[in-house]
Structures are given as C-alpha cells and as structure tokens.
Structure 1
Amino acid sequence: MSAVMSTEAWRALAEQSLLPVEVAELARPLLDDHVCIRGVQLRYSELVDRSFFAPEQRARLRQQLELAQPFPHLVLDGLFHPALLELVAEEFDTQPASSWAEVKSPYECTRRLLPGESLQTASQLYFDIVSSGWFTAWLTSITGVPYLLSDPKLWGGGLHESRSGGAFSIHRDFYRHRDIGLRNAMVFITYLNKGWQSEWGSALELWDKKADRCAKSVQPEFGRTMILPHGPASYHGHTKPLNTPDGRPRRSVAAYFYTSPFAGKRPCHESATIFLHPARIDQAKVIARMIAPPFIWALGRKLFGR
C-alpha cells in the first residue's frame, strides 16, 4: 500500500471494512499536517504564531519582560490560533460537573478543574503544546530560567472560571509545588473572553508592593497570554468582582512551570549511566572523580574535553 495514500483514501478503506477506523485515524498525523476537532480543521504549523519564535523576537521579548513594571511580566496577543482557543472555550461547558472544584474563601471566589482530570480534545492539545520541549525551550529563552518543567496534572492550573461576583484578592503564588516539591518558576495564562469590557471588572491587576497600589491592569481579552515569572514582588489578582450584563463567565487556561535547584548544573557522576561491567579506564575515572576536588575535575574536563 502506498505510503503517500491520502487521508480520504484511508477513510474510504475504513468505511469498506478493509481497514480499521482506528488505524486510519492513527495514520492521519503521518499523512497530513492538520487535526480536525469537532469539524474544525487546524493546521499543526498554524496552532502557534511562529513569528514569536524568531531569534530577534525572543531577544526583544526577554528585554520587554525584564523591563516591565511593577515586576517582570509579559503580555502577548495572538500567540495561539483563535480557532483553537474557541474550541477550548467551548469545552468549559461540556466538561463534567464532577471535574470542577468550587473555591470560595474570604480571599477568592472562583472555580477550577481538579488536578489530574481528563481534558477534552482541544484543551488537551493546548496543554500539550505549552508543555512540549520546543515550547518550554522558547519560554526559557525569554525568562532565562533553565530547563522549565511542566506538571501533567496541572495542579493549580488547568481550566479557570469566575462567575458573577467572582474575585481574587491580591496575592503572590505558591513557592513550591505541594506534591513534587519543585520551585514555582512562572505561571502561563491565556484568556478566552471575547469582547471584554473594562466596566465588567475582573481585570488582572499587577500591584506595586512598596507603594501598595495597582500599577497596571490587563483586561482578560480573548487570545491574550500572560507570562508571570514567580518572584518576591509578583503580587497580582482581580479585586473588582465580575459583573457582566449577560452573566457570562470570565475564563482562562493556566499552566504553572517549575524548576529544580539542579537545573542548569551538571551533577557529574550522578547524571552518568552506571554499567555493570565497566572498562578499567572508566573504573579509574570514577575513582579519580571521587578523590579529586570538583574544581580539579572540572579543569581537567575543560583542558582535555573528556
């Protein structure tokens, strides 16, 4: 059978029971460069605006983030294809009620997806993108944080929704992940609200801690992405209760990224594969590495490249 057979030909064979439907569907990514979600066709190459990834853009974005006030952050419009985000927004209404956590306290009134809950197709695709190696490498090039790590269970992240009266007091996010202990490096948020009006409240407020005031407000407009590195001054929230005339909710998708205290460092022998029957020269290297002070071993590697 031809390796370049079209998707239509594969589907025709499946319909004739000559080829299982599952095989035809699994073959699709190999045969073309698009995905179809609820009848909407999306090209893989267009899910993210690649112009943001050009080297000169990375340098510009990093400088913009570092110089932002009242603390480092970045606001991006149009990073993701709008059709993908529209599909994600639809899935808020079809996500099972049992998968949501209602959060109500003197400081917060919102609802978010429970950690580890199954996501629907478009939402899973969004989080697969932002958790991928090439995307996290881009985030590293902008934030300067080495080897960013995502959380597949999306603890604290996932789908977020505020309904009428919803608000979130000014706060700084948690320092470490509750379960895995990694340090919180940043939160990445994309908003899903079309035609947002400032008088509806719930704009994201970035606060100047020293002056104890809101220094910048960001409207949660559709397709707008926020990159918020975690730091001692990164206080934010939305204090003005949500009040939309038609009762529409405020929606976003969020992912936290983490870093290890060893990120960007080489832990020498701990990162090496251990063989049961090493050659004598390699046994000698292991002994030398254990005996020699770290700076001597590092100098030897630099001089001899081994």
Structure 2
Amino acid sequence: MTYLGGVFQDGKLVIDVSAGPAQIDALRSGYGKASPFPNMVIDNFLSPELTERLSDNFPPPALASVSRISQHQYLKRGYRPLSLGEHPSAELLKAFNSKPVIALMEALTGHQNLVADPDFVGGGFHEIERGGHLDVHTDFNLHPQMRLIRRINLIIFLNREWDQDWGGALELWPSDMRACAVSVLPIFNRAVIFDTGKMCFHGHPAPLKLPKGLTRRSMALYFYSAQTAADNDVGTATNWRNRPEQSTLASKWMLRARRAWRAIGN
C-alpha cells in the first residue's frame, strides 16, 4: 500500500495522499496502543517513483550541513536545505513540508494542528558510514526558533539493499532500558512514525557492519504543535542513554578505538 505519491507540476513536486480512510483509521488505532510508546511501521510508504527520485538525488557528502564524530553519534552526516543550494534534494525535502503530508501525519497519529519545520533543525537527509552509530536517546522537544513542541518523527529509509547482519536497525526502548522493545530494519521505502517525548528512547547504538562504499541513508521529518499546560520538561537538548551493557568509560574507549580504526583506512 502506498500512502504518499508525488508528481511534478510546473517544475515543482506536488505530494498527494493515496491511502484510503479505512487503512488510515486502522493504523491510527494501533498507533496509540503500541509499545514502548506510540509508533507505527509502514512498508511501501511512498510511490516507487518518488522513492527512486529521493534515492537517486540523495545529496553528496560535500553538501553536508553537519558531520558528527562524537561519543554518542559517530560518522553521521546531516543534510538540510540551507547547505544543499540548487541540488535537487533541497526541493524534495521542502515538498515533504506540504499540507497533504501534515494532514496525513495528523490522521495517522491523532496529533492535531501540526506544523512542519521550515528549517529542518536536526532533520533532513541523514547518512551514517560503516562503523558509525547513534546511541539511544530522546530528542530535543522544543524548537529553538519557533518555540513549538515536537510531537512526532517521520523517518523514511532509502537503502536499496540491506542485510540484517549489517545491523543498523532502528531500536525503540522503554525508559527503564531493560530491553529493546521494537527493532526496525532500515529497508528501502519503509517508514517509521513515532511520538517524541522525554520517555521516547530510540537509536541504533551498535556500530554498522556495512560493506565498503555503502552507508545507512534516511530522510527525517519532524512535526510540531503549540505548547500546552501539559507540556513540561521541555528543552533543546538531546537526552542520551546507555544500553544496559554499556558504561560511560567503555563508550569512551570504544570511540577512541573507532577513530583509530578509521584513521588507518578500514
């Protein structure tokens, strides 16, 4: 089932929603009941033509807005419109901030009066290299400029080939960090939608075991709404957590080992 398609009109991509009300209602019903926090996984989320266009126009490393080599996010690049210039990926990103996408996110999750982020703070195209990782965390939930509260994440995977032995599954964890509750392989045209909040822990903490020349690619879109009296503990900082088998000291030594491994060209 395809939920979002797209056609070009007058040189611009126009997004259309093709999913029927029955399918959307069924997904929304399951979303709120999902463990460890509201989430859903949808395969074949985009039309084949739109997915291929996103993949074919994935930006090159030279256009990266950010490049992370820290303890918690290692060998990760992010691409946002301001750094993409005239590259086709910039217009593709902006198309996903359109009203049809927002309306679909509201229908699927039950969150209302959502607003897309024109600056893609923390979002956009993401890419992680061989040996890279993203530790389990909760996201910042206060937009630094708009001062709106982040409600949901939409992640669309753009990996044409993926072997589960390579790792890289998106993991959803409960707040007690006892065990991973949901593991989602980043296969082509698979979408993951989930709530953001101080108890919504996620990441892919194990180093990627990719063949040389491949990266883990995705597009991340974040949606916001106005603050309410129920919103507390809001902020612009990411909250990192270690898995049970990790320790801070061990993580630091692992980071040093990975940097040395990268330096010798492996």
Whether TM-score is above 0.5 comes out as: yes
* Shift of residue 102, structure 1, vs aligned partner: 0.7
Q: C-alpha separation between the residues in 1 aligned to 2:117 and 2:13?
A: 26
CA gap of 1:134–1:48, structure 2 versus 1, over 3 A, is: closer
Structure 2 residue 79 is the aligned partner of structure 1 residue 106: no
d(CA) in 1 for partners of 2:159, 2:210: 11
Cα offset for 1:92? 2.8
Identity of aligned residues (%): 33
- In 2, the alpha carbon distance for the partners of 1:49 and 1:132 equals 11
Partner Cα distance (2:27, 2:94) in 1: 22
Which residue pairs with 1:89 in the alignment?
Answer: 55
Structure 1 residue 121, shift from structure 2 partner = 2.7
Return 5+ residue gaps in structure 2 as ranges.
1-5, 229-266
Tell whether the 8 Å contact from 1:75 to 1:225 is kept in structure 2 after alignment: yes
The residue number in structure 1 matching 2:102 is 136
- Counterpart-to-counterpart distance in 1, 2:129 and 2:49: 24
Alignment deviations for residues 11-51 of structure 1 (CA, whole Å, 9 cap, x no partner): xxxxxxxxxxxxxxxxxxxxxx9539xxxxx996xx6561x
Higher mean alpha-carbon deviation, 55-64 vs 167-176, is at 55-64
CA distance in structure 2 between the partners assigned to 1:225 and 1:98 by the alignment? 24
Decide which structure has greater helix share. 1
Output the amino acid matched with 1:204: L
TM-score normalised according to structure 2 size? 0.75
Of 125, 130, 134, the match for 2:92: 125
Query: Does the CA contact (< 8 Å) of 2:131 and 2:210 recur in 1?
Result: no
Task: State the distance in 2 between where 1:228 and 1:149 align.
Answer: 16
Higher strand share: 2
Structure with more relative contact order (C-alpha pairs < 8 Å, separation 6 or more): 2
The residue aligned with 1:198 is 164
Q: Report the Cα distance in structure 2 between the residues aligned to 1:60 and 1:229, rounded to whole angstroms.
A: 17
Q: C-alpha separation between the residues in 2 aligned to 1:202 and 1:240?
A: 7
1:35 matched to 2:1? The reply is no
Contact 1:116 1:152 in 2 (8 A): no
Q: Which residue of 1 aligns with 2:33?
A: 67
Deviation at 1:258, TM superposition (A): 0.7
2:186 to 220, 233, 245: 220
Q: Deviations over 1:142-173 (max 9, x none)?
A: 22211110111111001100001110110001
Aligned to 1:256: 222
How far apart, CA to CA, are the structure 2 residues paired with 1:149 and 1:238?
27
Superposed CA offset, 1:209-240 (max 9, x none): 22522111100000001111112321000011
Q: 1:230 aligns with which of 196, 221, 227?
A: 196
Tell me which of 146, 154, 162 is aligned to 1:180.
146
Counterpart among 101, 107, 113 of residue 147 in structure 1: 113
* Bigger radius of gyration: 1
**Structure 1 SS opposite 2:131:** coil
In structure 2, what is the equivalent of residue 17 of structure 1?
none
Q: Distance in 2 between matches of 1:90 and 1:186?
A: 27
User: CA shift at 1:115, angstroms?
Assistant: 6.0
